Amino acid sequence: MRDVFTLSLVASTIRLAAPLVLAALGGLFSERSGVINIALEGKMLAGAFTAAAVTYAADARLGMGAASPWVGLIAAMIAGLFIATIYAVSCIKFKADQVVSGAAINILMLGIPGFLSGALFLSSGSTPQIPKDHLLPQSPVVIALVILALVAAIWYVLYKTPFGLRLRSVGENPEAADAAGVSVTKIRYSGVLIAGVLAGLGGAYLSIGQSSLFTRNMTAGRGFIALAALIFGKWRPVQTLLACLLFGFTEAVSIQVRGWLPSGVEIPVQFIEMVPYVLTIIVLAGFIGSSRPPRALGIPYQKEK
């Protein structure tokens, strides 16, 4: 009996952590290049909505069947990329405040899905149901493997390729990178755009993986939890993965906790929900080791000041 619980807890941890991992690793690219990414939430929403809408359309209107979630997945990446482009142009080209632009993206993406679903599906904020067998794979083993492969790939890119080296240097000391002949602008664009693609994927997994439709504001703050995981993971891929797993675990526990306890005893779910946020504040204040953000985080790069 106990084993069943444990096993199901592991499975649900992996499932719940998956979108966080994707978004957090996306945020990692952006923040390691020196651009704050509080817009992860908005990008996830863009991905989630697009994935659900396109998968539904591919399935119901074009009859693409089991291929449709993959079409939806690609569409979600494009949506994430599109939103990230707006963000990148605003922050990098026009040197707008990164936090303000991020907040703008988040507010915009609270509205856009509802706006489009109203127009496309005559519904208020959700997309039609997609048949259960036309969703992304749910098997925790598959997800775990994909996540591990992704983290390994990102680790490799970050630490073992010229691009990774340039990305890290631009986030730490853009002037030094510039002096060494690296184009700060190009690298930052890449960082922000990769973040958009990954966050879009994370959102897609919410709507056509964990669920079978898009509902209004379905990310419910997961973009911010991903941001928290990134900070908690000290802007490193493996630690960020572990942080996402921890936060996925707390979410899994908060869902399953009621079933375990003898009747009459309750652990308020709200306290479990708070864990990621409280941990982030504690880490940021420097109580658990030192957590140092990329040094140039949030500062537009300006020559000849």
Partner 1 sequence: MLELRQITKRFGDVLANDRVDIVVKPGTIHAIVGENGAGKSTAMRIAYGFYTADSGEILVDGQVRDIKSPHDAIALGIGMVHQHFMLVETMTVAENIVLGAEPGSTVALDLRSAASQIRQLSEEFKLAVNPNEPVEHLSVGQQQRVELLKALYRRARLLILDEPTAVLTPLEVEEFFLILRRMREQGKTVVIITHKLSEVLAISDEVTVMRDGKVVGRVQTKDTNAAELARLMVGREVLLRVEKNEPKVGRPELEVRKLSVTDRTGAKRVNDVSFEVRSGEIVGIAGVEGNGQTELIEALAGLVDPARMTGEISFEGKTLNNLGARVRRELGIAHIPEDRHRRGLLLDFNLAENSILGVHYRPPMAAMAGGVFLDEGAVQRRAVEIIQGFDVRPPNPALPARSLSGGNQQKLIIGREYRVDPKLLLVSQPTRGVDIGAIEFIHRQLVGLRDDGCAILLVSAELEEVTSLSDRLLIIHDGRIAGEVDPKVATLEEIGLLMTRGH
Partner 2 sequence: MPRLARELLFPLIAVLAAFIVGGILILLVGDNPLVAYRLLLGSALSWPDGIGYTLFHATPLIFTGLAVLVGFRCGLFNIGAEGQLYVAAFATAWVGIVFANLSPFLLVPLCFAAAIFSGAFWGAIPGVLKARFGSHEVINTIMLNFIGIALVSYFTQYHYKEPGPIMQTPMIGEGAHIARLGTFIPGFPERIPLNIAFLLALLCCLLVYLFLWRTKWGYEIRATGSNPFAAEYGGISVRKQIILAMAVSGALAGMVGINEVLGYRYRYYDGFSDNYGYTGIAVALLGRNHPVGVILAALLFAALQHGGIYVDGFSEHITKDIVQVLQGIIILFVAAEVFFKWAIGKRLPWKNV
> Where along the sequence are the contacts to partner 1 (CB under 8 A)?
160-166, 168-169, 172-173, 175-183, 303-304
Interaction partner, residue 129 (partner 1, partner 2, none; CB < 5-8 Å by kind): none
Does 7 bind partner 2 (CB under 8 A)? Our answer is: no
Nearer to partner 2, 2 or 270 (CB): 270
Closest CA to 19 of 192, 230, 219, 252: 219
Q: What is the DSSP letter of 123?
A: S
What stretches of the chain adopt beta strand conformation (E)? Answer: none
Q: How many Å apart are CA 263 and CA 85, to the nearest integer? A: 51
Interaction partner, residue 106 (partner 2, partner 1, none; CB < 5-8 Å by kind): partner 2
Q: How many Å apart are CA 255 and CA 138, to the nearest integer? A: 18
Interaction partner, residue 277 (partner 2, partner 1, none; CB < 5-8 Å by kind): partner 2
Size of the site for partner 2 (CB under 8 A): 51
Question: How many angstroms separate the Cα of 274 from the Cα of each of 18, 207, 242, 282?
Answer: 19, 24, 18, 12
Interaction partner, residue 66 (partner 1, partner 2, none; CB < 5-8 Å by kind): none
Q: What is the smallest separation between the CB atom of 33 and partner 1, expressed in angstroms?
A: 13
Residue 114 corresponds to which tokens in the numbers above?
């509802």
In this structure, what are the phi and psi dihedrals at residue 34, rounded to the nearest 5 degrees?
Answer: 100, 10
Does 301 bind partner 2 (CB under 8 A)? Our answer is: no
Q: What is the smallest separation between the CB atom of 194 and partner 1, expressed in angstroms?
A: 15
Under a CB-based contact definition with an 8 Å cutoff, are residues 231 and 277 in contact?
no
Interaction partner, residue 166 (partner 1, partner 2, none; CB < 5-8 Å by kind): partner 1
Q: What is the smallest separation between the CB atom of 305 and partner 1, expressed in angstroms?
A: 9
Binding partner 2 (rule: CB under 8 A), the pick from 161, 278, 288, 295 is 278
Q: How many Å apart are CA 22 and CA 150, to the nearest integer? A: 9
Does 286 bind partner 2 (CB under 8 A)? Our answer is: yes
